[in-house]
A and B are shown apart, each in its own frame.
Chain A
Amino acid sequence: MSYIRKPKFQHPDLQPNALGFTRRDYEGTLTTLCGGCGHDSISAAIIQAAADMSLEPHRVAKISGIGCSSKIPSYFLSKSHGFNSVHGRMPSVATGANLANKNLHYIGISGDGDSASIGLGQFCHIVRRRINMLYIVANNGTYGLTKGQLSATADLGSITKAGDESLYDNIDMASLAIELGASFVARSFSGDKQQLIPLIQAGLTHKGFAFIDVVSPCVTFNNTDLSAHGYKNTWENYVSLGQIDFVPMREEITTSYSAGKDKEITLHDGSVIHLHKTDANYDPSNKENAINHINTHKKNGEIATGLLYIDQSMADFHELQDTVDKSLNELNSSELCPGNEALQNINQTFK
Chain B
Amino acid sequence: MPELVTTTKVNTLPKTNDFVIKFANVNGSGSASANNMFAKAIFRMGIPVSPHNIFPSNIQGLPTWYEVRVSDKNYLGRREGIDLMVAMNEQTIQSDINSVIPGGFVLYDSSKPLSEGLIREDVHYLPIPLKDICLTEFEKPSQRQLFKNIVYVGALAAFIDIDFNVLTEMVSDQFRGKEKLIAPNIHALELGYQFARENFTCPLPLTLERRDLTSDKILMDGNTAIGLGCVYGGATVASWYPLTPSTSVVDAFDKYCKRLRKDPKNGKNKFSVVQAEDELAAIGMAIGAGWNGARAFTASSGPGVSLMQEFLGLAYFSEVPVVLFDIQRVGPSTGMPTRTQQGDLLTCAYASHGDTKQILLFPSTPKECFEFAADSFDIADRLQTPVIVLSDLELGMNEQICDPLNWDDDRQYDRGKILNEQQLDEIEKYGRYQDIDGDGIPYRTYPGTHPSKGSYFTRGSSHDANAAYTEDGDIYAEIMDRISLKFKTALNYIPEPEISSLGSNTRGVIYLGTTTSAIKETLDNLQKKGISLDTMRLRGFPFHESVRDFINEHEIVYVIEQNRDAQLKSLLKIECNASEEQMFSILSYNGVLITAQQIEKEILDSLSTSNNAGEISA
State whether A61 and B448 are in contact (beta carbons under 8 Å apart), knowing that A89-B311, A100-B289, A351-B218 are contacts in the complex.
yes
Q: How far is the CB of A57 from chain B (nearest CB, A)?
A: 8
Q: Complex: how many Å from CA A83 to CA B311? A: 13
Interface string of A84-120 (1 = CB under 8 A from B): 1110010111111111110110000000000000000
For B407, list chain A residues within 8 Å (CB): 337, 339-340, 343
Residues of A within 8 A of B294 (CB): 96, 99-101, 328-329
Q: CA separation between A325 and B452, bound complex, in Å?
A: 26
Quick check: B451 and A56 within 8 Å, CB to CB? yes
Starting from the known contacts A83-B457, A347-B218, 20 additional A-B residue pairs (CB-CB under 8 Å) come to A29-B468, A73-B457, A80-B455, A81-B456, A83-B459, A95-B239, A96-B289, A97-B447, A100-B294, A122-B277, A323-B272, A324-B269, A328-B294, A331-B236, A335-B270, A337-B232, A338-B232, A340-B409, A343-B405, A346-B228
CB distance from B174 to the nearest CB of A (A): 12
A147 contacts the other chain (CB 8 A): no
The smallest C-beta distance from B50 to any residue of chain A, in angstroms, reads 15
Q: Is B271 engaged at the interface, CB distance under 8 Å to the other chain?
A: yes
Name B residues whose Cβ lies closer than 8 Å to a Cβ of A.
44, 218-220, 228, 231-232, 234, 236-237, 239, 256, 260-261, 263, 266-272, 274, 276-278, 280-294, 296, 310-311, 314, 404-409, 411-413, 445-452, 455-461, 468-469
A21 and B291 alpha carbons, distance in the complex (Å) = 27
In the complex, are the beta carbons of B261 and A96 less than 8 A apart?
A: no
- Which among A57, A59, A101, A332 has the highest number of chain B CB atoms within 10 Å? A101
- Judge whether B272 and A99 touch: CB under 8 Å: yes
Contact A83–B288 (Cβ < 8 Å): yes
Q: Chain A nearest CB: distance from B291 CB in Å?
A: 6
Q: Please give, as numbers and ranges, the residues of chain B lying within 8 Å of A297 by CB-CB distance.
A: none
Q: Please, which residues of chain A bring their CB within 8 A of the CB of B236?
A: 99-100, 328-329, 331, 336
Which of A56, A99, A331, A333: most chain B CB closer than 10 A? A99
Cα distance A129–B285 in the bound complex, in angstroms: 12
Residues of chain A with a CB closer than 8 A to B281's CB: 89, 91-92, 95, 121-122, 125
- Bound-state CA distance A351–B404 (Å) is 9
- A93 and B232 alpha carbons, distance in the complex (Å): 25
Contacts of A47-81 to chain B: CB distance below 8 A? 56-59, 61, 63, 73-74, 78-81
> What is the CA–CA distance of A57 and B231 in the complex, to the nearest angstrom?
34
A9 interface residue per 8 A CB criterion: no
Of A93, A124, A338, A346, which one neighbours B288 at CB under 8 angstroms?
A: A93
What CA separation (Å) do A333 and B381 show in the bound complex? 14
The reply to whether the CB of A82 lies closer than 8 angstroms to some CB of chain B is: yes
Query: Are B458 and A101 interface neighbours, CB within 8 A?
Result: no
Contact of A258 with B by CB under 8 A: no
A259 at the interface (CB under 8 A from B): no
The 8 listed contacts between A and B (C-beta, < 8 Å) are A86-B284, A89-B311, A96-B239, A96-B296, A322-B269, A332-B413, A338-B232, A347-B404
Contact of A96 among B285, B411, B460 (CB under 8 A): B285
In the assembled complex, which residues on chain A have CB atoms less than 8 Å from the CB atom of B266? 324
Residue of A nearest to B221 (CB): A350
Mark A310-347 against chain B: 1 for CB-CB distance below 8 A, else 0.
00000000000111110011111101111110111011
Contacting residue for B284 out of A85, A330, A331, A340, CB 8 A: A85
Shortest beta-carbon distance from A26 to chain B in Å:
13
Asked if A79 and B451 sit within 8 Å, CB to CB, the answer is: yes
B293 pairs with A329, CB closer than 8 A = yes
| Residue among A59, A86, A329, A342 making CB contact with B460, cutoff 8 Å | A86
A92 to B286, CA, bound (A): 8
Residue of A whose beta carbon sits closest to that of B173: A349
| With known contacts A92-B285, A324-B263, A328-B271, A58–B455 Cβ distance under 8 A | yes
Q: Which of B260, B269, B406, B447 has the most CB of A within 10 A?
A: B447
B284 touches A96 (CB 8 A): yes
Taken together as a complex, chains A and B put the C-alpha atoms of A338 and B264 apart, in Å, by: 12
Which residues of A lie under 8 Å from residue B456 when comparing CB positions?
A: 81-82
Within the complex, which residue of A103, A121, A331, A340 is in contact with B406, where a contact is CB–CB below 8 Å?
A: A340
Residues of B within 8 A of A328 (CB): 236-237, 270-272, 289, 294
B413 contacts across to A, CB distance below 8 A: 332-333
CB-CB contacts of A221-242 with B at 8 A, as 1s and 0s? 0000000000000000000000
- Across the interface, A351 reaches (CB within 8 A) one of B44, B231, B412, namely B44
The residue in A122, A332, A337 that gathers the most chain B C-beta atoms within 10 A of its C-beta is A337
Minimum Cβ distance to chain B for residue A84 (Å): 4
Task: Tell me the bound Cα distance from A191 to B599 in angstroms.
Answer: 72
CA distance A74 to B287 in the complex (A): 20
* Distance in Å: Cβ of B224 to nearest Cβ of chain A: 8
Across-interface contacts of B468 in A (CB, < 8 A): 29
| Identity of the chain B residue whose Cβ is nearest the Cβ of A64 in the assembled complex | B459
* B285 engages A99 (CB within 8 Å): yes
In the complex, chain B residues whose CB is within 8 Å of the CB of A57: 451
Which B residues are CB-close (under 8 A) to A347? 218, 404-405
The residue from A59, A78, A86 contacting B314, defined by CB atoms under 8 A apart:
A86
Query: Which one of A73, A325, A343 has the greatest number of beta carbons of chain B within 10 Å?
Result: A343
Residues of A within 8 A of B311 (CB): 86, 89
| Beta-carbon contact of A93 and B405 below 8 Å | no
Chain A nearest Cβ from B308, distance in angstroms: 11
- Bound complex: CA A94 to CA B447 (Å): 12
- Which A residues touch B232, using CB under 8 A? 337-338, 343
A333→B271 contact, CB < 8 A: no
Tell whether A329 pairs with B446 under 8 Å between CB atoms, given A84-B459, A89-B284.
yes
Q: Top 7 nearest A-B pairs by Cβ distance?
A: A96-B288, A92-B284, A329-B293, A100-B294, A81-B447, A96-B285, A100-B292
